[in-house]
């Protein structure tokens, strides 16, 4: 009898391994679930563990029981960061370095890149996305459900109204179009419900269904929120939590952070009630720095969303790993958004070498507490190769000029340096929360208002700046003249990245994408997916 049972259990184990290669199924040890939360435009000073005025208790408790990534770096705007997250490549290697994808722009993240959910699926994961996509929707091949996600509930573009989910078309006129989708078409039932509430409810349903229907598989839930991007909108009961905030933009914005935090609370509760929490890795990161022209804040860091200053690129982030050996940590090692793919692939039982020559590094040993320091020694902030783009793309929130940034950790014996070449972007000052404003991002015009903060400095476009980010995280003292040798060697590094860059994948917006051609709904099917 016992030998028969032995044979059966061996057979089951082998069968399991054959079905889910790479997963540790032995003794019922299942690969961890992954919930990856992205906040939109949340700045360094916009979250409770960096700023006690902000009310975000659910995120705070995860962060303080997890590992706070105090040097968590991303790209300065949305689609560049999300493409780096999904592919593990710097955006200069995916063509997404220059701009967000505009709503009627006939491009998407190139289809020859394999995305995070596709990689995790090969390890046996089941992947779902709830929230913002913004990596292209003009051709069906660009949609999340054709890039590894079993389901998608959310919106293809960005910047829409939080309740009506409407956004005006950019080319061809007509009334605003609707953008809240279920898989490949509109979900009109979302009309009227505040975005973070919707996202919380969808996430809860996916967690419940997963636990009921496919508990044998690990879950990857990608959860990119609309909060706290402009327009500044939130139910009153959230902004009322900030009775002492006299700056109206900041008050609404702060309420929007709390609304998102509430939805995170819903997700955590759901994971716990389904018994998944203890085997779930929860990641949190913003996609770029705060937009000080829409209530956000990066103080004391310098600059804004859309700039290569620290305020544009160093953002709140943490990971919560219940089974980590070493919890409640706050690490200063460099972490870059490209690192998530190899790190989570490793966490899921895969070998990151299988991911090819990506730019991301496997930082699992840092996160899980096996090591105090990370493996990343340096990273490329970004290269914006287009001095001045004609047409629609000139609206990108990246300033003119050749903008290069490159940071290192102990790369050179003499210290911890960041090199910037060109114009790092505006606003470039140190903007305290009290100076928050709400300038509707009505294309182009906001640049006229930069003087609200400080006079625009007149950089020569190839000016080089060097900062010791360790001693001077606020980028106040340019050391480029003190260390010509370091400047020279960092410029040589940049030149190598420059040489490996692929051209920006950007095109003028087209009338064929106007939602009014599709009954007022932002709809796929009006461009060719690239590369063919």
Q: Is 454 in the site for ligand NAG (CB under 6 A)?
A: no
What CA–CA distances, in Å, run from 44 to 64, 146, 246, 301, 420? 16, 34, 21, 8, 20
Of the listed 93, 134, 210, 336, which one is catalytic? 134
| String of contacts with ligand NAG for each residue 115-154, x by CB under 6 A | ------------------------x-x-------------
Q: CB under 6 A: which stretch of 14-22, 282-290, 309-317, 412-420 binds ligand NAG? A: 412-420
Q: Is 307 in the site for ligand NAG (CB under 6 A)?
A: no
Q: CB under 6 A: which stretch of 105-113, 143-151, 152-160, 246-254 binds ligand NAG? A: 105-113
Judged by CB under 6 A, the number of residues near ligand NAG is 34
**Binding residue for ligand NAG, selected from 17, 30, 61, 197, defined by CB under 6 A:** 61
- 117 versus 124: smaller Cβ distance to ligand NAG: 117
Q: What is the largest CA-CA distance in the chain?
A: 84
Restricting to residues 325-354, name those near ligand NAG by CB under 6 A. Answer: 330, 332
- Least distance from C-beta 239 to ligand NAG, angstroms? 12
- 48 versus 428: smaller Cβ distance to ligand NAG: 48
Q: Is 359 in the site for ligand NAG (CB under 6 A)?
A: no
- 28 versus 531: smaller Cβ distance to ligand NAG: 531
CB 104 within 8 A of CB 168: no
According to the 3-state scheme, what is the secondary structure of 242-266?
CCCCCCHHHHHHHHHHHHHHHHHHH
Restricting to residues 35-54, name those near ligand NAG by CB under 6 A. Answer: 49
CB 131 within 8 A of CB 110: no
**Binding residue for ligand NAG, selected from 112, 246, 388, 458, defined by CB under 6 A:** 112
CB 46 within 8 A of CB 290: yes
CA-based radius of gyration for the chain: 23
- Least distance from C-beta 22 to ligand NAG, angstroms? 22
Whether 78 is catalytic? yes
- Least distance from C-beta 142 to ligand NAG, angstroms? 9
- Least distance from C-beta 95 to ligand NAG, angstroms? 6
Edge-to-edge strand ranges of the sheet holding 181-182: 185-186, 181-182, 151-155, 126-132, 219-224, 33-39, 280-286, 317-320, 67-69, 329-331
Give me the DSSP letters along 340-405: HHHHHHHHTT--GGGG-S-S----HHHHTTS-SS-S--EEEEEEE--SS--GGGGGSSS-SS-EEE
In angstroms, the CA 132 to CA 226 distance is 6
Would strands 151-155 and 33-39 be described as parallel, antiparallel, or unpaired? unpaired
Of the listed 78, 93, 119, 165, which one is catalytic? 78
Would strands 417-421 and 403-408 be described as parallel, antiparallel, or unpaired? antiparallel
- 72 versus 307: smaller Cβ distance to ligand NAG: 72
- Least distance from C-beta 411 to ligand NAG, angstroms? 12
Restricting to residues 225-284, name those near ligand NAG by CB under 6 A. Answer: 243-244
| String of contacts with ligand NAG for each residue 177-196, x by CB under 6 A | -x---------x--xx----
List 285's β-bridge partners, or say none. 38, 317
- 439 versus 494: smaller Cβ distance to ligand NAG: 439
What CA–CA distances, in Å, run from 106 to 102, 136, 185, 313, 407? 9, 8, 18, 27, 33
Whether 134 is catalytic? yes
Q: Is 512 in the site for ligand NAG (CB under 6 A)?
A: no
Q: Is 496 in the site for ligand NAG (CB under 6 A)?
A: no
The values of phi and psi at residue 452, to 5°, are: -55, -35
Give the residues lining the site for ligand NAG (CB under 6 A).
Answer: 49, 61, 64-65, 68, 70, 110, 112-113, 139, 141, 178, 188, 191-192, 243-244, 330, 332, 414-416, 445, 448-449, 468, 470-471, 502, 525, 528-529, 531-532
What is the set of active-site residues?
78, 134
């Amino acid at each position: 009898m016992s030998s028969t049972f032995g044979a059966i259990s061996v057979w089951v184990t082998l069968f399991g391994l054959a079905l889910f290669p790479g997963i540790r199924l032995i003794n019922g040890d299942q690969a961890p679930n992954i919930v990856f939360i992205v906040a939109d435009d949340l700045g360094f000073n916009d979250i409770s563990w960096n700023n006690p005025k902000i009310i975000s208790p659910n995120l705070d408790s995860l962060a303080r029981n997890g590992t706070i990534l105090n040097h968590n770096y991303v790209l300065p705007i949305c689609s560049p960061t999300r493409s780096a997250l999904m592919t593990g490549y710097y955006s200069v290697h995916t063509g997404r370095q220059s701009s967000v994808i505009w709503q009627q722009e006939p491009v998407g993240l190139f289809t020859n890149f394999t995305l995070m959910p596709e990689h995790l699926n090969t390890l046996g994961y089941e992947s779902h996305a709830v929230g913002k996509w913004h990596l292209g929707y003009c051709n069906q091949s660009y949609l999340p459900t054709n890039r590894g996600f079993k389901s998608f509930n959310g919106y293809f573009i960005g910047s829409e109204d939080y309740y009506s989910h409407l956004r005006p078309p950019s080319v061809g006129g007509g009334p605003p179009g609707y953008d809240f989708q279920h898989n490949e078409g509109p979900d009109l039932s979302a009309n009227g419900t505040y975005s973070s509430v919707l996202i919380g409810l969808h996430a809860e349903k996916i967690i419940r269904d997963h636990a009921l229907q496919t508990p044998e598989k690990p879950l990857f839930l990608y959860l990119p929120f609309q909060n706290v991007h402009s327009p500044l909108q939130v139910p009153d009961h959230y902004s009322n939590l900030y009775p002492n905030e006299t700056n109206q933009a900041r008050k609404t914005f702060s309420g929007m952070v709390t609304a998102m935090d509430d939805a995170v609370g819903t997700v955590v509760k759901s994971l716990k009630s389904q018994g998944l929490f203890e085997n779930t890795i929860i990641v949190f990161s913003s996609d770029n720095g705060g937009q000080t022209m829409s209530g956000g804040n990066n103080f004391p860091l310098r600059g804004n969303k859309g700039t290569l200053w620290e305020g544009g690129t160093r953002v709140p982030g943490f990971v919560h790993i219940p089974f980590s050996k070493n919890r409640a940590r706050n690490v200063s090692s460099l972490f870059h958004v490209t690192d998530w793919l190899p790190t989570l692939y490793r966490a899921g039982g895969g070998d990151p070498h299988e991911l090819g020559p990506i730019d991301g590094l496997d930082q699992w040993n840092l996160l899980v507490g096996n090591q105090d320091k990370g493996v990343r020694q340096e990273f490329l902030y970004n290269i914006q190769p287009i001095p001045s783009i004609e047409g629609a793309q000139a609206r990108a929130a990246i300033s003119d000029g050749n903008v290069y940034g490159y940071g290192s950790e102990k790369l050179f014996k003499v210290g911890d340096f960041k090199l910037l070449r060109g114009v790092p972007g505006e606003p470039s000052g140190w903007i305290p929360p009290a100076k928050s404003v709400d300038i509707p991002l009505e294309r182009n015009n906001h640049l006229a208002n930069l003087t609200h903060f400080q006079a625009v400095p007149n950089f020569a476009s190839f000016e080089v700046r060097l900062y010791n980010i360790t001693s001077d995280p606020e980028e106040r003292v340019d050391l480029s003249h003190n260390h010509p040798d370091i400047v020279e060697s960092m410029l040589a590094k940049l030149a190598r990245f420059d040489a490996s860059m692929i051209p920006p994948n950007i095109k003028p917006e087209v009338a064929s994408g106007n939602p009014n051609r599709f009954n007022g709904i932002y709809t796929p099917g009006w461009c060719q997916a690239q590369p063919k």
